[in-house]
Structure 1
Amino acid sequence: MDSPSLRQLDIFAQMVAAGDASRCAADLGIGVGQLLADIAALELRLGYRLFEEPTTAARLTPAGRKTAQAMLQIAQDQDAAAVDPAPDADPPPLSKPSRLSEPASPTILLAAPAPVFGRLQESLSAFEAANEDVAIALDLHVHDARDAAAILAAGRADIAYFYALGDPEGLPSRYGWSEPLNLYVGASHPLARTDSVSRAALSVTPMIAFEQGGGMRRVVDAALAQGRAQMAAPALESDNMADILAALRDGAGCFAAFGPLARDLGRMEGIKRLALDMPLPAIDVRQAVGPGAADKPAVGALAEFLFL
């Protein structure tokens, strides 16, 4: 998860604290409809649901509880950076409330992009249920091989999932699965009426993208460059999915997505996936384990379990 906007963090935190949508909307001074739209945009960005039923009691899903911990850490990081910026100070992952039966019980540190965590969450819950003496701490800051290598080398994770275009050099890892990269425009956009879109057509089409410097932006930019799909200068750069959706439906440009986000965009009214006359590279999801994993049997067990 790229660091979400302060607005997203505030709305999510206020929703949890208020306990229901009406009270939260009143506290924030916005309408319930706007509140629910913001929550839905955040869930779309993450790739999974945060609340069981946000229109009534704001009960967090199991994934929502762990995400709340990770997002709390991000908020603390942002506050600390405002006081003393430290480029080397990657935050430690937050653990869920401990279920350890004794103090010496192992904790496994798992780092993964938020959408990958969404896919793994059922397996993680099953592993925890079968191994009650093991706790799993979650970090959602990792996106690509650079992130994964840094966090593993620093001992801040035992297992890291990351996005890659093939097998990265210098980081032993194994292939998990691939996610196609697709391009999307609004249904009224001229390219939406084209049976086959060429590179030349893309080159004069403005891009809609996540903000520069974020992990998802790096992954998408690398895949587009490898596929030689060059687009015009961005019409919008935002980490707010509500803004991205509005720009898409207004015909402002073309947006690249993969994984759960691409799946959900493909189901939305007013948005169309482009048919390209050239293939784009798929995004691989890979797993790497830390150098100290051999000393933690539970780490190896979880790494294998996630591949079952």
Structure 2
Amino acid sequence: MITPTLRQLDIFAQMIASGSVADCARDLDLLPSDIEREIDALETRLGHRLFDRTGGIATLTEAGRKTVEAMQMLSETAPENWQDTRAPTPAPAPTPSAIIAKVQSRDRSDAPVVETSARQTITVAAHPAIFSHFQDALTAFEQTNADVVISLDLDTHNAAQAIPRLIAGRIDIAYFYALGAPEGWPSRYAWSEQLSIYIGDAHPLAALESVMAEDLHGIAPIMLVPDNSLRPMIDEALSLAHIERIDPVLETDNLFDIMLAVREGRGYFAAFGPLARDFARMDGIRRLPLAFPLPAIDVRQAVRTAPQDDHIVSALSEYLFR
């Protein structure tokens, strides 16, 4: 498989943080032509455009946002599989888990203006797929409030990760996946992502007009790896739906391997959010028409401090929530 170089991933991350080719070149002490060449090469490797580059501004495409999520998945694996062909000692670029939210996007003139006596950094934690829902709002808030810098933590995905980080003050605002309100920290419901189950077209279940929970008994699931932050919620949701738990036929975070296993009829795969939407569009794979409900996966918001303790964090959390 052709993999991106570390240099290209550095430039991709810095391009997101800088917001334009010119600013990215300045921040990395490179020529704009160097930036454009590396981004073009990365886009060629990946087979899709990562940025809309018009008027000097670089805005992530939908494929670019998905690539940010893919980089998050890559960061959970050992980097020895990446080619290290970086130029000698370029200026360091932020990793996907510490990108500053400076992506230029459509104007949001309704962003509130808040007063602060000193420059303040607010850390917002979210899964990359959740972050895409309020990327424009974060940019507008930061542009409207010059003394506020917003940084992102893309490694916080569930309540078990978010609550300790909120308590320790490592993050200020968290959006995380959960099955209902978790104990240990107050949070509020933002929206839900429906869990769906997918099977190969050739599998006997694909011919059924309606699938019951007992129809899945004895069929092995295809699952994400146990330490994937989304796995516990999928496991719990399937358990709440009274689907029999048997050992997975495959456990992997490699989506290509999952797709092949589902197409080959080796088992079913449960997914939600962007991953579920991607699976629904794949040839040879069908979403099962379930005759029983599956629990929805909540997206919840939690804030580090009480509103009266930090009015800037409070203002941003309310702005993102609406």
After TM superposition, the score normalised by the length of structure 2 is 0.70
CA contact (8 A) 1:70 1:139 kept: no
CA–CA distance in structure 1, aligned partners of residues 7 and 251 of structure 2: 21
Larger radius of gyration: 2
Deviates more, 1:277-286 or 1:240-249: 240-249
- The match for 1:47 is none
- The match for 2:295 is 281
Structure 1's 251 and 14: CA in aligned 2 closer, same or farther, altered over 3 A? farther
Matched, 1:51 2:24: no
- The match for 1:271 is 285
CA–CA distance in structure 2, aligned partners of residues 122 and 212 of structure 1: 33
Q: Deviations over 1:224-270 (max 9, x none)?
A: 11221225322221112122122222222111111122122222322
Q: How does 1:68-79 map to 2 (within 5 A)?
A: 75=75
CA contact (8 A) 1:113 1:142 kept: yes
**Aligned residue identity for 2:128:** A
Query: Shift in Å at residue 126 of structure 1?
Result: 2.5
Q: Deviations over 1:134-172 (max 9, x none)?
A: 211101111221111111011110001111111112210
Identify the match of residue 225 of structure 1 among 239, 243, 262.
239
Identify the match of residue 108 of structure 1 among 101, 105, 122.
122
CA–CA distance in structure 2, aligned partners of residues 195 and 250 of structure 1: 21
CA–CA distance in structure 1, aligned partners of residues 125 and 231 of structure 2: 18
CA–CA distance in structure 1, aligned partners of residues 70 and 146 of structure 2: 22
Q: How many residues align?
A: 265
CA–CA distance in structure 2, aligned partners of residues 20 and 237 of structure 1: 33
Structure 1's 109 and 69: CA in aligned 2 closer, same or farther, altered over 3 A? farther
CA contact (8 A) 1:115 1:260 kept: yes
- The match for 2:60 is 61
CA contact (8 A) 2:69 2:128 kept: no
Deviates more, 1:9-18 or 1:211-220: 9-18
Identify the match of residue 237 of structure 1 among 251, 256, 266.
251
Query: Shift in Å at residue 213 of structure 1?
Result: 1.3
- The match for 2:152 is 138
Identify the match of residue 261 of structure 1 among 258, 271, 275.
275
Gaps of 5+ in 1: 1-6, 26-31, 41-49, 54-58, 80-90
CA–CA distance in structure 1, aligned partners of residues 309 and 290 of structure 2: 48
Match of 2:249, SS? strand
Q: How does 1:1-308 map to 2 (within 5 A)?
A: 13=9, 16=12, 19-20=38-39, 23=41, 35-36=45-46, 51-52=50-51, 61=60, 75=75, 94-96=98-100, 104-291=118-305, 294-308=308-322
CA–CA distance in structure 1, aligned partners of residues 65 and 313 of structure 2: 22
**Aligned residue identity for 1:180:** Q
**Aligned residue identity for 1:61:** L
**Aligned residue identity for 1:287:** Q
CA–CA distance in structure 2, aligned partners of residues 67 and 112 of structure 1: 16
Higher helix proportion:
1
Match of 1:234, SS? coil
CA–CA distance in structure 2, aligned partners of residues 252 and 15 of structure 1: 39
Gaps of 5+ in 2: 13-34, 53-57, 80-94, 104-115
Q: Deviations over 1:78-131 (max 9, x none)?
A: 68xxxxxxxxxxx995252889xx993111100111211122222222322332
Match of 1:119, SS? coil
**Aligned residue identity for 1:282:** A
CA–CA distance in structure 1, aligned partners of residues 66 and 210 of structure 2: 42
CA contact (8 A) 1:206 1:253 kept: yes
Q: Which has the higher contact order (CA 8 A, sep 6+)?
A: 1
CA RMSD, 1 decimal: 3.8
Query: Shift in Å at residue 283 of structure 1?
Result: 0.7
CA–CA distance in structure 1, aligned partners of residues 264 and 131 of structure 2: 31
